[in-house]
Structure 1
């Protein structure tokens, strides 16, 4: 099937510019100083997503445009670096913590040693809707929330909004997948963190890599598949090299938190914090709606490209048998090193219940 288908602000700006030039060149920068009225403070923002990705279209683009349009009123400008120009996913906490970037995106699965608890939203069998999950996590990330107090505040990071990519499925290039046993012994790309556990549970060997590297890895046979959401497949053209996917396995999610350096946040005046907070609220709603919309759109695009989807309903029990043990082991392992994983999972579950009315709702 599909066999014919393969195919000081100034100092920080100087550092950011040097990093961007080394990565991709300043010509590719999506933003820059000078847009709009000149302000008194420039916020450097580093992102690992492009503005064409649903994470960018739904949340980041409106946030950046809002700062450009209205920031001059309160003395703020923004310099925006897209698509990893300031560093890889695992570099972002350091970029934000050290002030190289004032605003950055942090994906807990890529920095599991620093933020193991914050991958709770990535655990399998919990998240079906991006809005419900995003607002639930935002409760835990607010000041006084367990994730903020345990992991973000100690790192000097102030959360702004959260994007949760839902609907993770098992996908492969040449392996037809109906039950977990079909992937036993295979090599699967993983995001790391909580996703490593589900890859291990299905009996596969996990290789952590950014999804941007997956096309080449699948083409070369370095890996045989991935656990991923359709939302993350089409922006990278991966429907050209993935032929098989489950549908309905609910193998987890991927959480990304947009943060501001805590000192930068505290250094903003009241009007500046009010504007940033308002734009972050809009980004929160926008990104979750866009991610939800993109699930169905991405399924359709993958099907049109020839990807074979297998509805797991007839074998649902076999897939569900992986979920609870994976969550239980996550709690056990983290609590064995003194981290309050049981409390985090319980609070996240309650927050999901409180935000159930947000599921499937668009403004």
Structure 2
């Protein structure tokens, strides 16, 4: 009888311990966690792409380094949550990870538009310096945390700039053109430059440029090949207006809080490693875009230093000021931007020289 009671007692303890594991599984003495990664993008085509590093390779490494305690299912093209809705989905832990362009969250989180402001960055290294080593990045992360979301990594997505069927080398060249409007922050720039605007979905850019509904767009240069836009534009303008574009990978704070500290560290360390590993791929993507343009008869217009500064100044008077007016954090981000950029320039004269050599005479 005593043996029977002892058996009942031991079974009860096992039952209680099992119940405490919630929706996770138990592998030996350790829990395992099955997480959902929602990406706004399609699967990567080449493993050297920055997008591949922060998606497919990140997932593979986290699973390996956790010895299978973390399993991550990837869902592409916003299968689990739409772009605008994904911020709330993270907060509620409907999804665990999100890979996205921050601008998609701009209506709910004004700070998210920072990385889309034209002429804020000069190259991949400058971009990551601003977001990782200055208070600007801290303010961005603070805003995310206010929505129950933790930043894991930035990824540099190659250059975004003007592509058009008429040459654009200065502010005056926008006069009479119709440009795509991807952000309300651009509207006053185009208005002051004498251009009209049209809101055309990305999927319709080819048709709009072919038919003349649009004369130009501001879009990643790799679209010359990926979207076959080389067939409907004749010019691209350098330097790029956003150089490079920036994506982010974020995790639900609720998910992070649920994980043991050792698994949290694996995720954070791997995300940062993939952020840095993606830089060469971002540069390669831009270089391939320029090569593809030359091979397909696209003229590469180089702005002079004077034209570049003129265009940047007009964007500062319009897009930068409108961003700064959103709230105290956005104002501080803009106030710090040029101060921090000057610090970076002094520490990286060779990169500044390389940038200036990309300008025309």
Q: Which residue of 2 aligns with 1:224?
A: 215
Q: Which residue of 2 aligns with 1:84?
A: 78
Q: Which residue of 2 aligns with 1:107?
A: 101
Q: Which residue of 2 aligns with 1:7?
A: none
**Are the structure 2 counterparts of residues 126 and 142 from structure 1 closer, same or farther at C-alpha, using a change threshold of 3 Å?**
closer
Q: Which residue of 2 aligns with 1:26?
A: none
Q: 2-side partners of 1:135 and 1:249: how far apart? A: 18
| 1:99-152 deviations in Å (ceiling 9; x for gaps) | 222100242323322232233233233312123302421346899x11222x20
Coordinate RMSD, CA, aligned = 3.2
| 8 Å Cα contact 2:179-2:215 kept in structure 1 | yes
Aligned-pair CA distance for 1:327:
2.3
Aligned-pair CA distance for 1:216:
3.8
| 8 Å Cα contact 2:185-2:322 kept in structure 1 | no
| 8 Å Cα contact 1:58-1:289 kept in structure 2 | no
Aligned with residue 231 of structure 2, among 219, 233, 240:
240
| 8 Å Cα contact 1:47-1:84 kept in structure 2 | yes
Aligned-pair CA distance for 1:335:
4.8
**Are the structure 2 counterparts of residues 218 and 329 from structure 1 closer, same or farther at C-alpha, using a change threshold of 3 Å?**
closer
Where does structure 2 lack aligned partners over 5 or more consecutive residues?
1-22, 24-29, 352-361
Q: Which residue of 2 aligns with 1:318?
A: 307
| 8 Å Cα contact 1:189-1:207 kept in structure 2 | yes
Q: Which residue of 1 aligns with 2:26?
A: none
Any idea what SS the aligned residue of 1:340 has?
helix
Q: 2-side partners of 1:236 and 1:87: how far apart? A: 24
Highest CA radius of gyration, 1 or 2? 2
Any idea what SS the aligned residue of 2:306 has?
helix
**Are the structure 2 counterparts of residues 241 and 61 from structure 1 closer, same or farther at C-alpha, using a change threshold of 3 Å?**
farther
| 8 Å Cα contact 2:114-2:323 kept in structure 1 | no
Q: TM-score, normalised by structure 1?
A: 0.75
After TM superposition, list the pairs within 5 Å mapping 1:203-218 onto structure 2: 203-208=194-199, 211-218=202-209
| 1:46-102 deviations in Å (ceiling 9; x for gaps) | 1122312734234322212213433444x2100001233334433332332232221
Q: TM-score, normalised by structure 2?
A: 0.76
| 1:263-322 deviations in Å (ceiling 9; x for gaps) | 111211111111101210111112222112211111101221221212222xx4234212
| 1:194-238 deviations in Å (ceiling 9; x for gaps) | 455554453323345564442343345442321123245433332
Aligned with residue 130 of structure 1, among 124, 130, 136:
124
Q: Which residue of 2 aligns with 1:202?
A: 193
**Are the structure 2 counterparts of residues 237 and 221 from structure 1 closer, same or farther at C-alpha, using a change threshold of 3 Å?**
same
Q: Which residue of 1 aligns with 2:4?
A: none
Aligned with residue 70 of structure 1, among 65, 80, 89:
65
Where does structure 1 lack aligned partners over 5 or more consecutive residues?
1-11, 13-37
Any idea what SS the aligned residue of 1:89 has?
coil
Q: Which residue of 2 aligns with 1:148?
A: 141
Any idea what SS the aligned residue of 2:328 has?
coil
Any idea what SS the aligned residue of 1:242 has?
coil
| 8 Å Cα contact 1:140-1:148 kept in structure 2 | no
